[in-house]
């Protein structure tokens, strides 16, 4: 999945909200009016990420270079890790780390007209989708009631089914109401439809599960629907909560996770990623509609593109040629030259196999004809908040949109010794190891 994002600046002042951060100076970037009709505007955003319950706090964590991963010491039952395992002395070391949310049991069910008995069986991921979608519309200065009965749509990545297994393993689901609430409250295919149900949206509602790319594929589906006229406003994003330790153990035993709980993307000591939790939602409109309505525009999506690796060296091993192809497709659709791209928010999971493939593919496309004085800047939010899996992509989009809007690229963490698997001397790329304007 590839996307090209730019700031749109129409000279209008931005409306202030609690999460607007308008005290930060924005940077103006010109756009091509010839292709404006095919472009999409991000008019609202909301998030709940590790250590950051809102946009303002998330930006603060990024600009201060904060690592939001926590550790549970061996043999101690504390925090979220203590809730996941009966004996933390026997689990793999990688399982003691995580980028977790707090207060995930808190939910205003009455606000969304959900009864207490139904809320008991409602996956906290569904609860977060409701709350974060509402806050994203607030950030966009859009009254959700004005969208009731409209073609507004929702697309979001979601793949974790931990809560269903907890309910089936412990709660009494024998009563008819409990059975129904278990089905609707723990199903991935109803999670996104619940947002449309609560807000009265009558456009498409789609749960997307394409592993790590889920929220970006959801964003691609949303932008495509807007361009085809299937909807006039779309919510896109992803959500993840870790409510069972089993899948983390499987990942650790498979060598996917960092034993020391540090995502060291592009570093010689990269040894895997850290699992994280979160929810991010962006509000999308056609650019001309956003300009007509006087919306605050965080950033402009010039194009998105999507493909698949096909046959590679392994089912979970990325293929560089496929990554290059999807980048070229996005650039061609956006009518943007590779040299016009200054910064790449990378997938960057911190794995010794995947990182070199990604950076080499990106450098081959974006680096063509680029001088050493104008390197492609690159970073990954996973060094701050871990890998949110189905919600990982939208976290990167929100970071990139704020970086463009505020003219400040946050520091990429945990980069000390460049990976020897990457030909740094011949690639015009630079990891943003220090914050840059």
Q: According to the model, what pLDDT value does residue 287 have? A: 97
Determine the Cα–Cα distance for residues 333 and 331; give it in Å rounded to an integer: 5
Q: According to the model, what pLDDT value does residue 103 have? A: 93
Q: Is the pLDDT of residue 239 over 50?
A: yes
For 181-227, the pLDDT digits (tens) are: 999 999 998 999 999 999 999 999 999 999 999 999 999 999 999 99
Q: According to the model, what pLDDT value does residue 6 have? A: 62
The CA-based angle 251-253-255, given to 5 degrees, is 70
User: Which residues contact residue 41 at a Cβ distance below 8 angstroms, ignoring those fewer than 6 apart?
Assistant: 8, 284, 285, 286, 287, 289, 290, 291, 295, 297, 299, 300, 301
Q: According to the model, what pLDDT value does residue 26 have? A: 32
Sign of CA dihedral 349, 351, 356, 358: negative
Q: According to the model, what pLDDT value does residue 418 have? A: 96
Q: According to the model, what pLDDT value does residue 38 have? A: 79
Q: Which two tokens stand for residue 295?
A: 């919306």
Indicate if 212 belongs to the active site. yes
Reported for 85-88, long-range contacts at CB under 8 A and 24+ positions apart, including other chains, are 85/245
Using DSSP, how many helices (H) and how many strands (E) does the chain show?
14, 12
Q: Are 397 and 282 in contact (CB under 8 A)?
A: yes
Confidence of residue 18 (pLDDT cuts 50, 70, 90): very low
For 130-164, the pLDDT digits (tens) are: 999 999 999 999 999 999 999 999 999 999 999 99
Pairing state between β 278-286 and 234-240: antiparallel
Q: According to the model, what pLDDT value does residue 73 have? A: 78
Determine the Cα–Cα distance for residues 330 and 184; give it in Å rounded to an integer: 37
Q: Which position has the higher pLDDT, 18 or 324?
A: 324
Give the pLDDT mean for 80-107: 91
Mean per-residue pLDDT of the chain: 90
Q: According to the model, what pLDDT value does residue 334 have? A: 95
Determine the Cα–Cα distance for residues 360 and 427; give it in Å rounded to an integer: 8
Q: According to the model, what pLDDT value does residue 1 have? A: 74
Q: Which residues pair with 98 in a beta bridge?
A: 70
For 263-307, the pLDDT digits (tens) are: 999 999 999 999 999 999 999 999 999 999 999 999 999 999 999
Give the helix/strand (H/E) hosting 217: helix 214-228
Q: Which two tokens stand for residue 154?
A: 């929702």
Side-chain half-sphere exposure of 68, counting CA atoms within 13 A:
29
User: Which residues contact residue 354 at a Cβ distance below 8 angstroms, ignoring those fewer than 6 apart?
Assistant: 317, 318, 347
Determine the Cα–Cα distance for residues 389 and 217; give it in Å rounded to an integer: 13
Determine the Cα–Cα distance for residues 249 and 65; give it in Å rounded to an integer: 28
Q: According to the model, what pLDDT value does residue 89 have? A: 84
Q: According to the model, what pLDDT value does residue 4 have? A: 67
Q: Where are the domains of the chain?
A: 2-431
For 204-213, the pLDDT digits (tens) are: 999 999 999 9
For 244-253, the pLDDT digits (tens) are: 999 999 999 9
Q: According to the model, what pLDDT value does residue 219 have? A: 99
Domain 2-431: what homologous superfamily? Thiolase/Chalcone synthase (3.40.47.10)
Q: Are 126 and 183 in contact (CB under 8 A)?
A: no
Q: According to the model, what pLDDT value does residue 17 have? A: 34
Catalytic residue among 68, 72, 212, 263: 212
Q: Are 26 and 9 in contact (CB under 8 A)?
A: yes
Give the pLDDT mean for 345-352: 96
Q: According to the model, what pLDDT value does residue 22 have? A: 40
Q: Are 204 and 216 in contact (CB under 8 A)?
A: no
- Cα–Cα nearest to 274, from 57, 393, 82, 96: 96
Q: How many residues does the chain have?
A: 437
Strands (E), 64-132: 70-71, 97-98
Candidate from 75-79, 372-376, 398-402 with smallest mean pLDDT: 75-79
User: Which residues contact residue 79 at a Cβ distance below 8 angstroms, ignoring those fewer than 6 apart?
Assistant: 70, 72, 100
Q: According to the model, what pLDDT value does residue 169 have? A: 82
Determine the Cα–Cα distance for residues 117 and 417; give it in Å rounded to an integer: 53
- 3-state SS record for 104-118: CCCCCCHHHCCCHHH
Q: What per-residue string of b and e applies to 37-48 under the rule 16 or more CB within 10 Å gives b? A: ebbbbbbbbbbb
Indicate if 347 belongs to the active site. yes
Q: Which position has the higher pLDDT, 177 or 270?
A: 270
Q: Is the pLDDT of residue 332 over 80?
A: yes
Q: Are 244 and 84 in contact (CB under 8 A)?
A: yes
Q: Is the pLDDT of residue 78 over 80?
A: no
- Find where tokens 């001088």 sit: 371
Indicate if 68 belongs to the active site. no
Rounded to two decimals, the pTM is 0.91
Determine the Cα–Cα distance for residues 426 and 429; give it in Å rounded to an integer: 9
- Find where tokens 């603060």 sit: 60
Confidence of residue 168 (pLDDT cuts 50, 70, 90): confident
Q: According to the model, what pLDDT value does residue 172 have? A: 72
């Amino acid at each position: 999945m590839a996307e090209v994002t730019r700031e749109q600046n129409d000279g209008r002042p931005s409306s202030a909200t609690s999460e607007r951060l308008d005290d930060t100076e924005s940077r103006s970037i010109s756009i091509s009016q010839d292709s404006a009709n095919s472009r999409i505007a991000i008019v609202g955003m909301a998030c709940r990420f590790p250590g950051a319950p809102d946009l303002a706090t998330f930006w603060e964590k990024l600009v201060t270079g904060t690592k939001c991963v926590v550790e549970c010491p061996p043999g101690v039952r504390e925090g979220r890790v203590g809730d996941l395992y009966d004996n933390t002395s026997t689990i793999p070391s990688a399982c003691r780390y995580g980028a977790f949310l707090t207060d995930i049991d808190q939910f205003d069910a009455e606000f969304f007209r959900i009864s207490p008995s139904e809320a008991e069986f409602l996956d906290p991921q569904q609860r977060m989708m409701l709350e974060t979608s509402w806050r994203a519309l607030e950030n966009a200065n859009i009254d959700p009631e004005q969208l009731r009965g409209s073609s507004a749509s929702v697309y979001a990545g979601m793949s974790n089914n931990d809560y269903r297994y907890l309910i089936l393993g412990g709660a009494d689901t024998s009563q008819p109401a409990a059975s129904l609430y278990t089905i609707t409250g723990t199903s991935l295919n109803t999670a996104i439809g619940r947002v449309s149900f609560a807000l009265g949206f009558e456009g498409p509602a789609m749960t997307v599960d394409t592993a790590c790319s889920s929220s970006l594929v959801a964003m691609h589906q949303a932008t495509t629907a807007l361009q085809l006229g299937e909807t006039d406003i779309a919510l896109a994003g992803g959500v993840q909560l870790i409510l069972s330790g089993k899948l983390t153990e499987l990942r650790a035993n498979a060598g996917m996770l960092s034993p020391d709980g540090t995502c060291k993307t592009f570093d010689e000591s990269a040894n895997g990623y850290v699992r994280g939790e979160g929810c991010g939602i962006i509000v999308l409109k056609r650019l001309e509609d956003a300009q007509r309505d006087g919306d605050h525009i965080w950033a402009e999506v010039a194009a998105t593109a999507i493909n698949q690796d096909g046959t590679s060296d392994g089912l979970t091993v990325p293929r560089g040629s496929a990554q290059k192809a999807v980048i070229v497709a996005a650039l061609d659709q956006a009518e943007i030259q590779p040299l016009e791209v200054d910064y790449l928010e990378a997938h960057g999971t911190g794995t010794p196999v995947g990182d070199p493939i990604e950076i080499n593919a990106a450098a081959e496309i974006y680096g063509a004809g680029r001088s050493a004085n104008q390197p492609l800047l690159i970073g990954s939010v996973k060094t701050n908040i871990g890998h949110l899996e189905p919600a990982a992509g939208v976290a990167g989009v929100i970071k990139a949109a704020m970086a463009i809007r505020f003219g400040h690229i946050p520091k990429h963490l945990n980069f000390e010794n460049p990976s020897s698997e990457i030909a740094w001397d011949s690639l015009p790329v630079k990891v943003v190891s220090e914050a840059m304007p």
